[in-house]
Structures are given as structure tokens and as C-alpha cells.
Structure 1
Amino acid sequence: MKPLVRNAALNSYIELSRSLGIDPRELMKRVGLDPAGLAVQDRWISGVAVTQLFELSAVASRREDFGLLLAERRRLSNLGPISLVIREEPDVRSALELLVRHEYMYNEMLHSRLSETNGLATLKVALEPGEAMPARQAMELAVGVFHQVLRGFLGARWQPVSVCFTHGAPADTGTHRRAFGPVVEFDREFNGIVFYASDLSVPNPMSDPLLHAYARQYFDSIAVSRDTTVPDRVRELIEVLLPTGRCSIEQVATSLGVDRRTVHRHLSASGESFSSLLNTTRAQLAEQLVANQRRSLTEISGLLGFAAPSAFSRWFGQRFGCSPREWRNRRTRQRHSGEE
């Protein structure tokens, strides 16, 4: 399986594209991405498709700085749940190390490394989409986002020693100098940021010591292993896609950047099928949702991807041996008897 990225990688893409006079939805369809799926931030999509999309957008808009313009629109919160933890880390070093160590949780293409020597810290950034392809825009986006994160901790006037790119300079370097200052360099041997190692010890002004432990506990509860299996990926996608009413093996395959036969083959090798994972995941979610008295059964039906409450009730009866309302009432009685 080729690496995936979260839908959040396309945050502000639609708005930026339209501001530059290009049709973002048409370009997305050309690389096999579903524009309607952007509403689901935690959905996984093909890293190759996203990389191709950025290159096509740069050509269509005639802006060699497309990736960097996108980076300028990013906020720390765009990184998802990990941003809540990073915000509470005590200093720049711990925040940056956490971001690098868990980068696979939001971008499986991204491979970064932080090192220190002779008073300088070097953050090297690499992208591995799984095949040889142009990735200038995606790289500038990645380096630009890291730069934004560092500036968020160190202040708007902070400037690194240098910002390096392996590719050549664009015809107009105005955006790059606005973003990075006069220290941006091209045709270097690596992509990344060089800055003073002392910056890593700067206290994080956003951190609240009382919230740090809670933030870490929360993150530990949602953190996933780097060695995620295909069934794990499919199960996660099912959870994300069910409320959209478009949860199918075709949609899952599109998100994974493969065809449905490839998904079927990987699941079969694990003794699973798409139907078995769908039913198991639905059942687990149904137990949690039906037990919640504040949610109506009609609302739960939609969250589980059923076209109508009657279809949900039939499925629930076959799975649990009673109607959702009966199951809820039974759980309520058990809870009350336990309290007594």
C-alpha cells in the first residue's frame, strides 16, 4: 500500500485555488479525489494523488509558489488532535520532537529528522510518496508548515539561519522571501530548516503546566501504531465514512489509492472481508450510540450509514436479537438496578 495523508492536507486548497482563478474540483477529479469528501477531515486519502494535485494546481494557476501560498494559510490546529498536545508541551524541543515522532498520524509520506551539532539544529524534511514523481509543491508546503509551527512558538520576528530546498529557485522569489526572509536557499543538498540549537530550549508561551498531563493522557488514548495493518486502515475509514452515507468498498479503495480487488486481497489474507469489518464496526458503534439516551434512533440510523430508520431497525434486530428501543430500555433498567 502506498502512503496516505489525512484529508486535512487539503485544508484551504479550495479557497486558494479559487482565489487564483482555477477550478479546484475539476483538478481533484483528474487525480481521483472526491471533492465532497473534504468535509471529513480525518479521512485518509492517497498521498500520490495529493502530490499530483498540487503540481497540477501550480501549472494551472501559473504559480510556482502554490505550495507555499497554501502553507501560509495553515494553522497549528490543521494538524488535528496532535496540535492539542503540542500546544501544551513545555518547550520548543519537546513540541518539535513530538511532532516529528508522530508525523505518520497525519501524513504517511512525511519523514523528518531533527539533529543538533555545533550549536545548530537541523530539521531535514523528506517526502516518500512511493513512486518517482515531481513533489516540489508538496515539499514547499511541508517545510512551510514546519516554519509556521516554529514561528508560532518563537514569535513572529523569529528567523532561522537558513531554509533549504533541493530544487531550483522560481522565477519570482517574492513569496519565498516574504515567508522565510532573505535566508531561503535553493539547489541545496537537503530540504529543511537550519536554526540555532538554543531556540529548542525556549519555553513554550502557550503551555499550561496543569493541562500538559491531561493533554498527554488524551493523546496516548488516540495515538495509533506506526505499523497499522490494512484491516485497521479499513476499519478506521469505515468509521469516518459511515455518517456520510457513502461507505462502500469502492470509497475505501479510493481513499487508500488502490482498486477494490487490492483491498479484497489484503482483507482476505487477514481472514476478513469488507462486509465482516463493516458489520463489526457498525455493531461496536451501535452499542455506544444506542446506549446514549440523548441521541434519537433516527439520528443514530444516519450516523451508522442507513438510508432509513427502518433499515437500521432490521439490521439491529438481526444483529442483537431485539429492536434498538428494546435494547436501550434493557440497558437502562440494568444500569438503574446496578445503582440500587
Structure 2
Amino acid sequence: MSDDLLGRHDALLADLDGTLYRGPVAVPGAADAVRGATDRGVPTVYVTNNASRSPADVAAQLAGLGFPAREQDVRTSAQAGAAMLAELVPAGAAVLVVGTASLVDLVRERGLEPVTSGDDADAVIQGHSPDTGWRLLAEATVAVRGGAVWVATNVDLTLPTERGTMPGNGSMVGVVKVATGAEPRIAGKPAARLLTEAQAAVSSSRPLVVGDRLDTDIEGAVAAGAPSLLVMTGVSTARDLVRAAAVRRPTYVGADTSALTRPVDELTPGEKDGWTVRLDEGALVLTGNGADLDALRTLCPVAWGAAGDGEFDGPVRADGSAAADALARLGLA
């Protein structure tokens, strides 16, 4: 077994937006990292909470960006949601689909009958679509209020786009929650189901979850009992990481997916060369000089230890100019 991170795992369960690509552009080095893993016999399952596109469309985009991706390598929250729904209602049940045509197809493939009226629905499945409007949300409200089974493919409040952060499926789910007082069953991350299905798809016993969001990717990994690598190329920031509650703390922290070929000890949160951290009346105090990411890895366990299972809410301070510069670059000043 190799001493690098990749050598400890037999599959990668990789998030997409913010981890492997940003909008239409691959994150620098990500395609090389995934191809390198494939060359070493470690497959990648592309695991996305985005329920708006079919696995075939996702695979085509990935392949166009240089990733070794086939349709069967993609697992979406829409697939997990349709599978969950089929376990909850009988064959032929009427399902109001709040989502795209690909979600309608997945529901139909599970032997269920898509409908357009909440009055007729035995169940509701809700996934992201940029075309979702008031009328369809109103129909979902009618169905859920009437006792229909309700499944959300995911509850991401926001969605990264080329024009900045936009409302995600969780924001639309929130509309129905407010109107009904009900809570949906959740198929995608941070629930474990999507990741455990991805793991089973490649018969993995030693998976590594790779992602950029603490509230979906990392929390999902914790729920699934899998180790995780947080990459700092997307949504979650250094401040988010230092303050993270126990359910959102990654096993490893890397700048990007090139971390897969770095030594495990380098990536594990803990004291690193050049840095020390002390707790002073509830504040983290960083001292020393070295790599910024090593400063972050050194800060984390001290903050987490002080917070227990909850979120660290104290200030972060510097002792010395080098530490002050590092905190500023990390967004922790």
C-alpha cells in the first residue's frame, strides 16, 4: 500500500461542482488527478446532488472536460430519490414530479406514474429545475398537505453558477416546508443513501469521499461512515472549516484534488511544521511561519477540541506578523 492518500482507498466518491469543475470549466488539475487514480486501479464514482440532469448528460460533460467518465460512473440525487420513492409507495402510484424531464423519466422507470395535479398525487418528489414556479410548488403544497409521501432529492440551499450563487433545490423545498409544516425525506447528501449507493456500485470497501462542501459532501461522508477529503476549491472556506461541528469535520484537508498523491500525515489536521496554536480565554492564537494550509490544519483540531461536538465560536488571532499574514490570506483575520 502506497504512503499517499490514494493508496489507502479503493474508490473515490467525488463531488462535481466546486470539486472537479466550476460551471463549464474543469478545476485545474482535477482531470489529471482522476485519470491518475484510474491508472492506479482506483475508480471514481461521480456523485452529485444536482438532480436537474440525467447521468448520461453529466457523463458527457465530464468526458468533454477530460475526465474518464461513463454514464454508469455517475450517481445523482435524482436516481437516489426515485429509488427511495419506489420503496415507499406501491407500483403504479401517482407521483407529482417537481423537477426536470429527466427526473420524470427516472420516476417512470421505477414503475410509478407521473402526474401534474397535487389532488391526484400519492407522492411528491422534488428536485432542482430552473423552471420551477409558483404553480407547481402550489400543487406540491396541496399534495403534501393532503398526506402524500414527500421525497426531496437534496436540500442544498444554494447552487453555484457562472453568474454567482443562486437558489438551490433546498430553497424551493423550503417554500413547501413553510406552506405545509411538513419535512421531506432526503435522498441526496448529507443523507448517507446517495454515497452508500455509489460505494456499492463499485463494490468498494475503502472509499474516500472528495468534496468542497462541509454541509453536504463532508456531512454525508460522516453519515455514511466514510473518510473524507475537503478540497478548498469551492464553497466551504477556511472559516467554515475552523468552526465546523463534529458532523462536518473532514478526515483530510487539501488545496485541491492533487492532494490525492500527497502523504496522509501532511493532509491530516494536526500540528504542522512551523506553526503552533494555543487557546487563550476562548480565542485561538496562531504563532509561527509556514504554509498557509498547514496553519489551517494546525488550527482545526484545537478549535474542534474546544468546541466538542458543536461549532467553535471564538475569535482567531495572530501572534506575530507571519501569522497575521497567513490568517489574512486564509480569510480568518
TM-score after normalising by structure 2: 0.29
| Bigger-Rg structure (1/2) | 1
If each structure's helix is expressed as a fraction of its own residues, which one has the higher value? 1
Provide TM-score, normalisation by structure 1.
0.29
Q: Which has the higher strand share?
A: 2
